[in-house]
């Protein structure tokens, strides 16, 4: 049931991932789910870059940790180490990118929203398939991703989705009451 999947979706972090390989076909299914998100004027602004091979993960790990080192206003060795480790603990890292409409026919937030909807689709599909993940959005790293990926004009990075299989049950979560966030007229 969709409602159960929505409630069971959790942020699962790379340290919780096991070593099980994530097949390419599984990732392709997640991306297909993402691709069914809605978008204004059907611009389909979501773009993904899948960091999958061992070599690619190694390079990604080096890039994000060194970028952190260069840009961090207050360097933390722990954070640096975590950034080094996370990609290597993951089955794949999917960079979440947004392609701005060439004619800018709608405000940027609408395209950002469409990408977020695509990520939710991907995340729910991953949940159903027993995969965990989380959306990481470190601003001091993602602003420099054009030095790592090739972007088209108007394309930008909105973060990384770390993906992997896990053994432990995801933690229960709570939400504040929806009644406090809703006004009925
Ligand atoms: C747009 C977006 C960006 C996020 N960025 C981060 C992040 O940089 N680091 C992090 O630990 N979690 C990040 N998260 C995950 C949230 O912390 C997480 O979704 C929230 O704590 C709720 O937990 P749940 O996903 O298990 O329900 C992000 C989530 C979203 C939607």
Name the pairing type of β-strands 92-99 and 46-51: antiparallel
Contacts (Cβ under 8 Å, ≥6 apart) of 179: none
What is the total count of domains within the chain? 1
Q: Is residue 179 part of a domain?
A: no
Q: What residues pair up with 164 in beta bridges, in sequence order?
A: 132
Calculate how far, in angstroms, residue 185's C-alpha sits from the geometric centre of ligand 1. Answer: 31
User: pLDDT tens for residues 46-89?
Assistant: 999 999 999 999 999 999 999 999 999 999 999 999 999 999 99
pLDDT of residue 170: 84
137-140 long-range CB contacts below 8 Å, 24 or more apart? 138/64, 138/68, 138/83, 140/67, 140/68, 140/71, 140/72
Calculate how far, in angstroms, residue 160's C-alpha sits from the geometric centre of ligand 1. Answer: 11
**Distance, CA of 98 to CA of 108 (rounded, Å):** 10
pLDDT of residue 172 exceeding 90, the answer is: no
CATH of the domain at 149: 3.40.109.10
Mean pLDDT in residue range 155-161: 98
The model's pTM: 0.97
pLDDT of residue 94: 99
Parent domain of 30: 2-168
pLDDT of residue 171: 81
pLDDT of residue 126 exceeding 90, the answer is: yes
Atom 10 in ligand 1: residue holding the nearest Cα:
136
Closest atom of ligand 1 to CA, residue 158: 1
Ligand 1, residues at Cβ distance < 6 Å: 10-11, 134-138, 159, 173
Atom 9 in ligand 1: residue holding the nearest Cα:
136
Calculate how far, in angstroms, residue 10's C-alpha sits from the geometric centre of ligand 1. Answer: 9
Mean pLDDT in residue range 104-115: 98
Q: Is residue 183 part of a domain?
A: no
Calculate how far, in angstroms, residue 135's C-alpha sits from the geometric centre of ligand 1. Answer: 6
Q: Is residue 19 part of a domain?
A: yes
**What does the DSSP assignment read for the chain?**
-HHHHHHH--B--GGGB-S----HHHHHHHHHHHTT---GGG---EEEEEE-SHHHHHHHHHHHHHHHHHH-SS--HHHHHHHHHHHHHSSEEEEEEEE--TT--S-HHHHHHHHHHHHHHHHHHHHHTTEEEEEE--HHHHTTGGGTS---TTEEEEEEEEEEEB-SPPPP-----GGGG----
pLDDT of residue 10: 97
Out of 8, 10, 137, 176, give the residue to mutate to test ligand 1, the one with the largest number of ligand atoms within 8 Å of its CB.
137
């Amino acid at each position: 049931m969709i409602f159960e999947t929505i409630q069971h979706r959790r942020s699962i972090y790379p340290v919780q991932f096991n070593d099980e390989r994530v097949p390419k076909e599984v990732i392709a299914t997640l991306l297909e789910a993402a691709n069914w998100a809605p978008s204004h004027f059907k611009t389909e602004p979501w773009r993904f870059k899948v960091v999958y091979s061992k070599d690619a993960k190694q390079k990604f790990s080096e890039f994000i940790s060194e970028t952190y080192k260069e840009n961090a206003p207050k360097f933390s060795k722990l954070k640096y180490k975590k950034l080094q480790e996370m990609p290597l603990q993951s089955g794949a890292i999917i960079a979440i990118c947004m392609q701005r409409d060439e004619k800018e026919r709608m405000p940027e937030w609408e395209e950002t929203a469409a990408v977020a909807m695509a990520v939710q689709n991907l995340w729910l599909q991953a949940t159903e398939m027993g995969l965990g993940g989380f959306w990481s959005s470190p601003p001091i790293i993602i602003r420099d991703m054009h030095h790592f990926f090739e972007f088209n004009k108007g394309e930008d990075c909105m973060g990384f989705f770390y993906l992997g299989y896990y053994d432990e049950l995801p933690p229960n979560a709570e939400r504040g009451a929806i009644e406090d966030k809703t006004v009925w007229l």
